[in-house]
Chains A and B, each alone.
Chain A
Amino acid sequence: MTRNLNFARSFGQICLTGFAAVYAFPLYLIVSLALKTEAEGARAPFALPSSLFSGNFARAWQTSATSGNASLAPAFGNSILITAVGVVLLVVTGALGGYVLARRKSRLADWLFVLFLIGLTVPQQLGIVPLFQLARGLGLVGSAGGMILIYAGLLAPLTIFLYTTFIRALPTDYEEAALMDGASRLRVFWDVVMPLVRPVTATVVVIQGIHIWNDFFTPVIFLLGSGQQTLPVAIFSLVGEYATAWGPIFAGVVIASAPAMAVFVFLQRHVVRGFSGGIK
C-alpha cells in the first residue's frame, strides 16, 4: 500500500517536473540567447552559454531601433511611468469605488456594480475604435498622460470587482470602531480600510501592473508614432532591424521581463491571499 503510494507520488512529481520544464524552456532559451554572442547563438542555440556575454544588453539598451531615434532606454522609462502611475490611479479609484459600492446599500450602487461586471465581460477590442476617436477628440492620443487615463478606464471593471467583493466580505466593525473613535469616512477609508484590503491591492498591482507593462495592442494604437512608445512596442521595432540578430532582441525581452517578475516574486504571497481569503 505504502509502496504504491510512494510510486504514485514519485510519478506525479516526475510529471509535474516535466510540465515545469516545458514551460521553463522558452524562458531558458531567451536568457541563454541573450547571454551568447551572435555566432555562438547560431552555432549552438540550445546549449548553455560558454561565457556570459553582456554585449547584447548594451546594444539593446543603447542602439536606435526602427531606423530612427528610439532605443529601449526611453521606452523603459515610458513603460515605468505609464505602469506606475496607471497602477496607482487604478488602486486609488478602484479602492474608493469598491468601498462605496460595497458599503452603500442602494439600488444605484447595485446597478453600478452590475455595470462594472458587464465591463468585465466585454472584450476591449470591441470598443477600441470609438474609444480612439473619443481619445483623439480629447487630445489624449500620443501622450503618456492620455495612455494612463485610458488604462485607468479600461482596467477599472476588474479592479472595482476585486475591491468590492473583498470589502463586502470584511466585517464592518473595524470601520464602525474607527467612526466611534472620531474618524471621518475618508479617514476611516485611508487608516482602516486600505490596510485591511492590502491583499487585493497587491493583486491589483501585480495583475494590472503586468497587464499594462506587457500590453502591446493598446499602446500600438494610442501611442504609435509619438516617440512615447512603451517597451513591448520598442522590442517589436527591434525585430525589424535585427531580424537575424536574436541576441539583442532577447536581451530586450529579458530587460522587459525582469521588473514584472521581480514585482510578482515580491508580492505573490499577498496575491494568493487576495484571491483566497479575508482578514484573519
Chain B
Amino acid sequence: MSRITLSRVGKRYDNGHVAVRSIDLTIETGEFMVLVGPSGCGKTTLLRMIAGLEEVTSGSIQIGERDVTRVPPQARDIAMVFQNYALYPHMSVRENLGYALKVRGVAKAEAKTRIETVAGMLGLERLLDRRPNQLSGGQRQRVAIGRAIVREPAVFLMDEPLSNLDAKLRVGMRGELARLHNRLAVTTVYVTHDQVEAMTLGHRVAVMRDGEIMQVGPPEDLYRRPRNLFVAAFIGAPAINLVEARLEADGLSFAGWRIACPLPPGLGDAGRRVIVGIRPEAFEAAEFAPPGLPRLDITAEIVEAQGADSYVGFTLDAPRVEAEQIAAAAEGNDAALISEARARFMARVTPKRRVAPGETLALALDASALLFFDPDGGEALGQA
C-alpha cells in the first residue's frame, strides 16, 4: 500500500509567506496524480513536502499507514526526478543508477542485475559508462527516470521533468512516461505548469492556485465541468472563450447575438448577468454542423491551420471579461500577451472548410457545451 494522504498540510515560511494552505488530498495506490498551476501556486513546495525536503509547518502526511510528516527524506521510500535531472556529474550513468542501491547496501550482483534491467528498459545500455555531461537532454532525462525506477520505491515524485526538453522530445517522453507508469503502476505525483502534460498524463489532476487546490478530478471532469473561472481558464488549449451574457426566457444573449437554447437548471432568472464559457470545439462551420444549432455570423481575423484542425479567431462586440481569476490563469499559459478591450474568441472548425482572414463565416454553436459562471465570485453555475 502506498496511498499518500495529505491532511490539512500547510507551509508557512519564517518571513510569514504562506506557500501551501491546509491541503487535504488523497492519492490512491498506483495512481498518477498531477499537480498543475501557474508559477508560484505552491505545487513544487507541496511536492517537496511530500518528499521531506521541505518542512511541513501544519497538518500531516501519510504514506500507506505510516505518518511521515517528520520522517527524513532518506527514510520515506520515495524516489524523485528533479527538473534539471540532478545527475551526479562526477559519476558515470552506471554509478548514477546504482548509487541508491549502494547506499542501501544492496548486494553487488543484485545491483548489477537491476541496473542492467532498468538500462534495458530505458535504452541506456550503451551509455552506462558515460558521464552526464556526455549525454543529450533526452538521455539525461532517461537516466534521471532510471535512477528513480531502479530503487523500486513506494512512490515517485516528479518535478517538471520534461520542462527542459524541446517540444518534440517532450511529446515523445510524455508518451514514454505514461507507458512506464502503466507498466510499473507505482503511485506517482507529478508537478507541471503545462496543462497539456497534466491532461494527458494524469489519472487525476489537482489544479492549484495561491497554495490551495481549486479542483481535483479526472482531466475530462476539469475540462467539461470546471468548478470556477480559474480552472476553466487554466485548463484547455486554446483557452476557453469567455464573455459576459444575459439570461433570457428562452436562452441567452451576448455581443448582440441572441441564442435560443435550453439552459441548465439553477442558473437563475431571466435578466441575470452571467459569464459564459465556450470551448473552441463547441463551434463548427455551419455547413458542416448538424442542422438546428444556433448560428453566429462572424468575420475571421486570424486563421491557424494545424492540419487536423483549423482555428479561427474573431473579435466580439462585447467587452473582454475582466476577472482576477482569468488573469491568474493566463499567467500560467501565457495566453494574455496583448491587452484587448473587446472579447476575442477562438473557434475550431473542420479543415474541410477553408477560411481566409477577413472572410465572413457562419458558425454553429453547440449550446449544450456552454459553461456558466457567476460574474462576482467566479463559481460555476448550473452544474449538477
Contacts and interface: CB of A to CB of B under 8 A. Distances in A.
B74 interface: yes
Nearest to B133: A280
Contacts of B72: 179
B314 interface: no
B53 A179 contact: yes
Interface in B43-76: 51-53, 72-74
Interface string A115-137: 00000000000000000000000
A171 B83 CA distance: 12
B82 A177 contact: yes
Interface centre among A171, A178, A181, A196 (most CB of B within 10 A): A181
Contacts of A181: 74, 79, 99-100, 103, 147, 151
B99 A191 contact: yes
B325 interface: no
Given A178-B99, A180-B73, A184-B74, A173 B82 contact: yes
Nearest to B83: A173
B103 A177 contact: no
Nearest to A180: B80
Interface residues of B, number: 23
Interface string A175-217: 0111111111001000110011010000000000000000000
A46 interface: no
A279 B74 contact: no
A174 interface: yes
B89 interface: yes
B74 A182 contact: yes
A177 B104 contact: no
A152 B50 CA distance: 42
Contacts of A173: 82, 84, 86
A181 B91 CA distance: 14
Contact of B74 (A179, A191, A192, A280): A179
Interface string B322-353: 00000000000000000000000000000000
Interface string A150-188: 000000000000000000000101101111111110010
B90 A180 contact: no
B86 A187 contact: no
B365 interface: no
Contacts of A184: 74
Contacts of A180: 51, 53, 73-74, 78-80
B88 interface: yes
A188 to B, nearest CB: 9
A177 B86 contact: yes
A182 B104 contact: yes
A174 to B, nearest CB: 5
Contacts of B90: 195-196, 198
A110 B78 CA distance: 32
B86 A182 contact: no
Contacts of A176: 51, 53, 73, 80, 82, 86
A171 to B, nearest CB: 7
Interface in B7-25: none
B89 A279 contact: yes
Contacts of A182: 74, 100, 103-104, 151
Contacts of B52: 179
Interface in A223-257: none
Interface in B247-281: none
Interface in B200-217: none
B80 A177 contact: yes
Contacts of A280: 89, 133
B80 A196 contact: no
Interface in B112-167: 133, 147, 151
A200 to B, nearest CB: 14
A183 B103 CA distance: 6
A171 B86 CA distance: 9
Nearest to B148: A180
Contact of A174 (B80, B86, B104, B147): B86
Interface of B: 51-53, 72-74, 78-80, 82, 84, 86-90, 99-100, 103-104, 133, 147, 151
4 smallest A-B Cβ distances: which pairs? A173-B86, A181-B100, A177-B86, A195-B90
Given A171-B86, A181-B100, A191-B99, 11 more contacts: A173-B84, A174-B86, A179-B74, A180-B51, A182-B100, A183-B103, A184-B74, A195-B88, A195-B90, A196-B89, A196-B90
Interface of A: 171, 173-174, 176-184, 187, 191-192, 195-196, 198, 279-280
21 contacts: A171-B84, A176-B73, A177-B80, A177-B87, A177-B88, A177-B147, A178-B99, A179-B52, A179-B72, A180-B73, A180-B74, A180-B79, A181-B151, A182-B103, A182-B104, A183-B74, A187-B103, A191-B99, A198-B90, A280-B89, A280-B133
